[in-house]
């Protein structure tokens, strides 16, 4: 009495090597193998990213004047409009380093720093009517705004690193033009 085969004879994926096919004779595996043909996968559909949000005209204009690099800060530049008041205009901006790489912006009302990371966010601001001193230290590259007279013991209300002196000066000059903000003291 013969038992019917458990599976019909066929070329099947080799149980020891997925790259091969092996012949099953209906009762057992044979020594006959061949390279397994793999059908190319269908190409994934191309998904166009959504268009970048349009920058406010004042932000776009300030962005064109940046001399330094805004490395890693474009996300913050795009979000800057969400943090501005309707009557507020951006006069100058630059890339800066706080708790992460962000953007330092001078408006007609205030100076603000914005950083948005995966885990942390940082938003610092000083209204120009409260500012008493602005300094830039060439050695440490720290741009600081004080609400008291800047002294060795004074703690700045806002302090970030700006790697480009020309951009730090442009932000400070915009602040001077915007209000009675103090001049930039370069140390």
126 contacts: CB under 8 Å, gap ≥ 6? 110, 111, 112, 145, 147, 157, 158
The string of pLDDT tens digits covering residues 99-145 is 888 888 888 888 899 888 888 888 889 887 788 888 888 899 998 88
Burial level of 38, CB count in 10 A (0-12/13-18/19+)? exposed
Contact 175, 111 (CB under 8 A): yes
pLDDT band at 70 (very low <50, low <70, confident <90, very high): low
Per the confidence metrics, is the pTM higher than 0.85? Answer: no
Position with higher pLDDT, 181 vs 136? 136
Q: What is the strand order of the sheet 110-116 is part of?
A: 121-127, 110-116, 101-107, 90-97, 158-161, 142-146, 133-137, 184-186
Residue 143: Cβ within 10 Å count: 29
What is the C-alpha separation between 68 and 91, in angstroms, rounded?
16
Split at pLDDT 50, 70, 90, the class of 54 is confident
Fold of 57-186: PH-domain like (2.30.29)
Is 80 a residue whose pLDDT tops 70? yes
**DSSP-based three-state secondary structure for 166:** helix
Annotate 25-45 with DSSP letters as a single string: -SSSEEEEEEEPP-PPPPPPP
Of 2-6, 25-29, 67-71, highest mean pLDDT: 25-29
Tokens of 145: 């705004």
Q: Where in the chain is the domain with CATH 2.30.29?
A: 57-186
Residue 180 has pLDDT above 80, yes or no: no
- How far is 101 from 104, CA to CA, in rounded Å? 10
Token pair for 157 = 């209300």
């Amino acid at each position: 009495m013969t038992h019917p085969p458990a599976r019909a004879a066929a070329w099947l994926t080799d149980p020891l090597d997925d790259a091969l096919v092996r012949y099953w004779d209906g009762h057992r595996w044979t020594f006959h193998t061949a390279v397994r043909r793999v059908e190319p996968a269908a190409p994934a559909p191309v998904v166009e990213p959504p268009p970048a949000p349009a920058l406010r005209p004042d932000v776009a204009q300030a962005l064109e004047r940046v001399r330094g690099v805004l490395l890693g800060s474009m996300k913050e530049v795009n979000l800057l409009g969400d943090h501005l008041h309707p009557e507020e205009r951006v006069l100058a901006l630059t890339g800066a380093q706080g708790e992460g790489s962000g953007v330092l912006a001078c408006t007609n009302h205030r100076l603000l720093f914005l950083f948005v990371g995966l885990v942390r966010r940082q938003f610092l601001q000083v209204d120009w009517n409260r500012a008493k001193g602005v300094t830039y230290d060439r050695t440490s590259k720290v741009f600081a705004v004080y609400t008291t007279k800047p002294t060795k013991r004074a703690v700045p209300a806002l302090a970030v690193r700006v790697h480009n002196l020309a951009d730090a000066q442009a932000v400070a000059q915009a602040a001077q033009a915007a209000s009675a903000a103090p001049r930039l003291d370069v140390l």
